[in-house]
Structure 1
């Protein structure tokens, strides 16, 4: 049955708030193109293909009335959702088509450590950072998302600066192994969202265990979202996030459109 404006007071209130500007929709998604920065694993590991469009027709002989393309991409390219089945610790967990909707539309909090990351690109979030934030803003939301703002989205159009690789590896911020374990095992969050290319710090392959954000979060039925933008437009608390991956059967991840709803003036 179609939903008319008279069918639901809650829906009407939401629509009126958006139309009137008291509820703002913020796009947290990075544009997806062949120039989108992607994770580069060293040999002997195999990398995913980058995103590309293949023209099939453009109002011409193969399709005179339409334009359409094939898309070629790895699962973990651009702004994307990591499902538990992506990592060895969650290998028997949900794939990306099985993620519960109530965890994809959920409250979000923003922890802003952009100043620290500007001083040290290898900055990692520790348990004490989160507890200090909680003392000011309240507990992390059960079933909600922790969004880590590091200011890294400012490099999103410069792949070299974004990946920040030198002879010592990749230098991008993330979370420590202890904090990853605590978030995975001791909190009720649905997942972690970051502005970087992956949910782990750039040099997290040297942590114990390697890539602990993946290991502890995905291993405890939590999710990751990467390559977010515009977190500066969100308040520390009070936003609602909408994470919309493709429903890929058997997929370990999917490119996603990620939106936030924010009350004007918060």
Structure 2
């Protein structure tokens, strides 16, 4: 079901221009109808945090500054009452809120956010839930053995997947920002990241924390980005998606030569999968 869903979505996106001109009953209309039926019948889970000027962020970057846009001639903010519209200026690092780290974040020759192919932004989603391990080991790093144990229950990690790590850290994002920014914290081991990429063919990874590693050396993040893969950090609501069977859609502004940017990430959970979760 999951691969059929992705195939229909990809087919429809590629033929979007043709569909607009197709006659009633045309095969493209049928594909579009099938795609919409799947999406409208699915559970949509927002895996994205809202962000503000007080959002948790790495101390080396600092908080965002969000101010009203002003008329350059008068210096006064635009308002709906006076001007019929309003707008904001945003001054912040690209790695803010739920965000994408492209290879270029760590690799001078790596792909920037505008160069990541669209077909790498719509992927099968697998979720590794390590919350049950955190009572004994609050800073547990997902291991290769953890992945193998997961596969005994859920089957082999599909090639081309987006692999997400559930730790429930995201629940502290608004409720307890100081705890959210704690260090150390549960994350990935380098061995697990390499295994997923090299042995299982994963396309990208994501996690709830602001960093990939349980150590300060950033070995996992460095290896991942320098090997041409992107990641999504500060994900939310991974407790609301199943271990397998959903599709992840990750989108971000197409900033030329961008080294990172806030992202909007959604899980599409087909109805039959959602019922079993």
TM-score calculated relative to the size of structure 2: 0.82
For structure 1, the residue ranges without an aligned partner over 5 or more in a row are 41-46, 165-169
Task: Map 1:10-89 to 2 at 5 A.
Answer: 10-19=31-40, 22-40=41-59, 47-56=60-69, 57-59=78-80, 61=82, 64-87=83-106
Q: 1:143 aligns with which of 160, 176, 181?
A: 160
Counterpart of 1:159?
177
Q: Is contact 1:108–1:144 with CA below 8 Å preserved after alignment?
A: yes
Q: How has the CA–CA distance of structure 1 residues 150 and 118 changed in structure 2, closer, same or farther, with 3 Å as cutoff?
A: farther
| Alpha-carbon distance change, 67 to 238 in structure 1, aligned in 2, over 3 angstroms | same
TM-score normalised over the length of structure 1 = 0.85
Structure in which a larger fraction of residues adopt helix = 2
Root-mean-square deviation over aligned CA pairs? 1.9
- Unaligned runs of 5+ residues in structure 2 are 1-16, 70-77
What does residue range 251-262 of structure 1 map to in structure 2 within 5 Å?
A: 251-262=258-269
Correspondence 1:71-220 to 2 at 5 A: 71-87=90-106, 90-157=107-174, 158-164=176-182, 170-201=183-214, 204-205=215-216, 210-220=217-227
Following superposition of structure 1 onto structure 2, how do residues 219-234 of structure 1 map, counting pairs within 5 Å?
219-234=226-241
Distance 1:142 1:107 in 2: 9
Distance 1:235 1:222 in 2: 23
Q: Which has the larger radius of gyration?
A: 2
The number of residue pairs the alignment matches comes to 243
Match of 1:242 in 2: 249
Comparing both structures, which one devotes a greater share of its residues to strand? 1
Q: Is the 8 A contact 1:108 1:141 kept in 2?
A: no
Flag the 1:173–1:125 CA change in 2: closer, same or farther, 3 A.
same
